[in-house]
Amino acid sequence: MERKESFLQYIRTEKRYSPHTVTSYQNDLDQFSHWLGENHPAMSDDSVTPAAVRGWMVSLLEDGYAASSVHRKMSALRAFFRYLRRHGMSSADPMSALKLPRKPRQLPVFVAEEALDRLLDDFKFGDDFSGIRDRTIVEFLYLTGMRRSELIGLHDEDVDLSSGQVRVTGKRGKQRVIPLAGSFIKSIGTYLEARREAQLDGSWFFVTSRGNKMYDKAVYNIVRRYLAMVTTVEKKSPHVLRHTFATHMLNHGADLNSIKELLGHASLSATQVYTHNTFEQLRKVYKQAHPRA
């Protein structure tokens, strides 16, 4: 237990993982410990075998876990045992030669441009503070491609309307700067004025109607509610707007490296998945337009 807590403290403070990631790792490690206690009660952290890890992986698959979920849980275990080895708490490597289940390739879900245009150009969000804030949140996610956690973590000083840019603090504290469109700067100004009139000014950029910092579920519900009005895609989340931002940028000629920097991806491979969406769009246009397609 002490080793697990030490590891969680390490990824929380030194690696600066997000609270969501730390919680996920903790849940995965707790789940593995519970399974280990039931199936290998004499086994401790420094005596876990590759066979035991494979046994847990098989049990997860038999219980109906998706391959992507199993991959995430194995990543948590791999990070934990790597930490134990590096800090001299164990010499074993139970993750060696572990073959993970193949993950089916899933293309990012995105919303059609026409649907976003209808929402932002024609739909009335309301003239009160909540309506203006909700519209600004949807626009912010779509026009910047930032993550939900990054949007929630914005402070007033991060948004510079005079220079037309926003400073975003991403995963592990890495910062990047995203430009703001001229028309959107005006919308942001409208939101700030509404916030001042409602006497909700403070440190956080986005706040609830009571002046508190916005939270994950509230942002999710806002996005889901408004996207449901213009699209039938199954997923309607803040992350879908991030996918939509990248896909639309790529469709309009942006290069992958620029999109990578705007999204805050650590490697280009994470951004390349959007090229598949673009190819599917090209295939659709080709079939519709070519007389012999």
Residues 6+ away with beta carbon under 8 Å from 188: 136, 159, 161, 180
How high is the pLDDT of residue 32?
A: 95
- Position 261 pLDDT exceeds 80: yes
What is the third-level CATH fold of 2-86? DNA polymerase; domain 1 (1.10.150)
Whether residue 282 contacts residue 289, with contact meaning beta carbons closer than 8 Å, is answered with no
How high is the pLDDT of residue 274?
A: 76
Average pLDDT, the chain: 89
Which of 63, 76, 70, 61 lies closest to 24, judged by CA? 76
Domain boundaries, the chain: 2-86, 113-288
How high is the pLDDT of residue 225?
A: 96
May I ask the CATH architecture of the domain 113-288? Orthogonal Bundle (1.10)
Percent of the chain with pLDDT over 70: 92
Retrieve residue 177's tokens. Answer: 């700067």
Among 103-112, 228-237, 284-293, name the most confident range: 228-237
* Catalytic sites, residue numbers: 147, 171, 239, 242, 265, 274
Domains 2-86 and 113-288 share a fold: no
Q: Which H/E stretch holds residue 107?
A: none
End-to-end CA distance of the chain: 62
Distance in angstroms (rounded) separating the CA atoms of residues 5 and 213: 28
Whether residue 261 contacts residue 246, with contact meaning beta carbons closer than 8 Å, is answered with no
pTM across the whole model: 0.66
Vertex 126 angle, CA 123 and 129, to 5°: 140
pLDDT digit string (tens) for 143-191?
999 999 999 999 999 999 999 999 999 888 889 999 998 889 999 999 9
Q: Helix 67-86 vs helix 50-62: angle between axes, to the nearest 10 degrees?
A: 160
Whether residue 77 contacts residue 32, with contact meaning beta carbons closer than 8 Å, is answered with yes
pLDDT top residue among 13 and 287: 13
Distance in angstroms (rounded) separating the CA atoms of residues 80 and 72: 13
How high is the pLDDT of residue 105?
A: 64
The identity of residue 238, as a single letter, is P
